[in-house]
Amino acid sequence: MEELIIKETIEPLGKETLRAALKINGTVRSYFSTFLRSIGYLEIPPVIYSTATDPLNHPVFDTTFEYYGRKYSITKSMIFHKQIAVQHLDKIFTFSPNVRLETADKASTGRHLSEFTQIDIECLRATRDDMISLAEDMISGIVAEVEEKNYHELLSLKRTLNIPRKPFLRIKYKDALGKYGKNFENVLSAKMSDPFWIIDIPINEREFYDREDPNNAGYLLDMDLIYPEGFGEAISGGEREFEINKILQRVSLKGQSPDQFKWFIEAASRGLLPSAGFGIGIERLVRYLCGFPKIEMVTPFPKVPGKYSI
């Protein structure tokens, strides 16, 4: 067992592919932070634990712990912190480490880790269209940057990238589901040669903080970006619910208790301005840029769902 643990965890460290991936990871981080700063975004430090974190719309193992009589959770995403911080800071981003103790079935997707980092972005008074446009600039921009700065790494990985042309294709969730069935995301991802958006996701597929479209009841003003070539989901984001009565309705629709999100609900009760934003998983992006079969190839100490790790 001991041997198995070591074999699983140090495997990426012995490989040249890891060095290339880490160089590309460096380009991603410095390009995004320079680009976002240049358009007025302020970096905020990550939150590692808090009394309220993203409830997520899929089951993960619990990470709550008690500290001086209060219950905390390790951050699954900084959604609540972003929505509150942006009220004061207008345009923010953070490199946010997330712990999501995903179930073992996720190990085979090639794109799930139980510890990963997302670049998480939020903008006050922004719309979904604004965020789609920003994300398209970031994705096309990083492909061009990696082609220029990491020419040698791409060559050694035998990876050819195309700079995706803007605007990216937008497909409505309902249409994708109707045409390709429940597994549409994987089917479409495998078929496409450029990234594309899935928009207007049904209310029950997402969490309470995604804003319902006032002109399309039951659907959200949100979006997922999907990588081509079978690499799957890249980004999730959208406009946020900001009116306290709607937030409370949505929490109760999910069968959740507002107590679970106490500080956020209290802050929202004092009044929020609308905002929108999104998160890009860094490891998934690096995996896509490298063209790797598995996400664990991009990081020296991968946490693979359901497997032992150090």
Residues in contact with ligand AMP by CB under 6 A are 77, 100, 102, 112-113, 116, 118, 233-236, 279-281, 283-284
- 94, 236, 275, 299: which one contacts Mg ion (CB under 5 A)? 236
CB neighbour burial string for 26-41, b if at least 16 within 10 angstroms, e if fewer: ebbeebbeebbeeeeb
Are 28 and 298 in contact, with CB atoms under 8 Å apart? no
Find the shortest distance in angstroms from Cβ 232 to ligand AMP. Answer: 9
Alpha carbon dihedral 223, 228, 231, 234, in 10-degree steps, equals -30
Helix, strand, coil share (%) of the chain residues, nearest 5:
45, 20, 35
Return the structure tokens found at 199. 């928009």
Query: CA-CA distance, 83 to 88, in Å (whole number)?
Result: 10
Indicate whether 189 belongs to the interface with Mg ion (CB under 5 A).
no
Of 228 and 279, the one with the shorter C-beta distance to ligand AMP is 279
Of 27 and 236, the one with the shorter C-beta distance to Mg ion is 236
Site stretch for Mg ion (CB under 5 A), options 59-67, 93-101, 228-236, 256-264: 228-236
Query: CA-CA distance, 210 to 98, in Å (whole number)?
Result: 19
Are 20 and 305 in contact, with CB atoms under 8 Å apart? no
Find the shortest distance in angstroms from Cβ 294 to ligand AMP. Answer: 11
Beta sheet of 196-199, edge-to-edge order: 42-43, 91-99, 115-124, 275-281, 232-239, 222-227, 196-199, 169-172
Grouping H, G, I as helix, E, B as strand and the rest as coil, residue 90 is coil
Nearest position to ligand AMP, beta carbon: 281
Of 60 and 163, the one with the shorter C-beta distance to ligand AMP is 60
Site stretch for Mg ion (CB under 5 A), options 154-162, 195-203, 211-219, 232-240: 232-240
Beta sheet of 49-50, edge-to-edge order: 49-50, 70-74, 64-67
Site stretch for Mg ion (CB under 5 A), options 108-116, 183-191, 233-241, 280-288: 233-241
Indicate whether 118 belongs to the interface with Mg ion (CB under 5 A).
no
Of 66 and 276, the one with the shorter C-beta distance to ligand AMP is 276
Find the shortest distance in angstroms from Cβ 152 to Mg ion. Answer: 33
Of 148 and 232, the one with the shorter C-beta distance to ligand AMP is 232
Of 30 and 57, the one with the shorter C-beta distance to ligand AMP is 57
Are 226 and 192 in contact, with CB atoms under 8 Å apart? yes
What does 77 interact with, of Mg ion, ligand AMP, none (CB < 5 to 8 A by kind)?
Answer: ligand AMP
Find the shortest distance in angstroms from Cβ 76 to ligand AMP. Answer: 8
What does 100 interact with, of ligand AMP, Mg ion, none (CB < 5 to 8 A by kind)?
Answer: ligand AMP
Query: CA-CA distance, 102 to 110, in Å (whole number)?
Result: 13
Find the shortest distance in angstroms from Cβ 68 to ligand AMP. Answer: 30
Residue among 77, 55, 120, 61 at smallest CA distance from 305: 61
Of 12 and 238, the one with the shorter C-beta distance to Mg ion is 238
Are 281 and 234 in contact, with CB atoms under 8 Å apart? yes
Indicate whether 98 belongs to the interface with Mg ion (CB under 5 A).
no
Of 147 and 233, the one with the shorter C-beta distance to ligand AMP is 233
The residues that touch Mg ion, with contacts defined as CB under 5 A, are 236
